[in-house]
Amino acid sequence: MAKPKGEHYVSNKEFYAEMIIFIKARESDPELMVPDCIGSKILKICTKLAFRPNFINYTYRDEMVGDAIENCIKYIGNFNPAKSNNPFSYFTQIAYFAYLRRIAKEKKVTKLKAKYVQNLPTMGEFFAHSLMDSQGHDNIDNIYDDMSKLIQGYYDVDLSDDKPAKKPGRKKKQPEPPMDMAKEFNGE
């Protein structure tokens, strides 16, 4: 038995009727703001699209939704009822491509961050360069002492060699070598 079809979260017929009214009203007043009924439908479309499997796991999903809403509002005047009677599809496509543009931007930023971190000097290089004297001779012997003083002062950490006593625990059993290896080792 077929499952009864439920109501869609945005009714395309209602949305189309509201868009026709809005476009006619906007012809007389180009500065007319988008009404709440259309804005709420655009918000639902953009939010629901973010839960598709190809967009759900991005950490910047809120930015994707924001970009999509912005683009839908920006291009709301380009909807032509003479060419299409499906505003739901029109705004879904705008939101979809806004998501793809945001993903491309974020990937670019991630690559730049990775490149920046890769080119950072290591702690050893940093201290080696910072400890050179005026003649260009380095004081490598003092690097550890200076670094430990810096870390102790900055993080308020004790780097002394006094290690706390280990907690008694179970000893791990060493695996026995295979018999062939044991014979070779013993000279047999």
Task: Check residue 112 and give its pLDDT.
Answer: 86
Expressed as residue numbers, the domain containing 151 is 121-157
| Same domain for 82 and 29 | yes
* Structural domain count of the chain: 2
Residues 46 and 129 in one domain: no
102, two tokens:
């945001």
Same domain? For 106 and 17 the reply is: yes
Count of CB atoms situated within 10 Å of the CB of 66:
14
Same domain, 152 and 84: no
Distance CA 179, CA 176 (A): 9
Which residues of the chain fall below pLDDT 50?
154-159
- Kindly state whether residues 74 and 35 are assigned to the same domain: yes
| C-beta neighbour count of 41 within 10 angstroms | 22
Cβ contacts of 2 within 8 Å, gap of 6 or more? none
Residue 164 within any structural domain of the chain: no
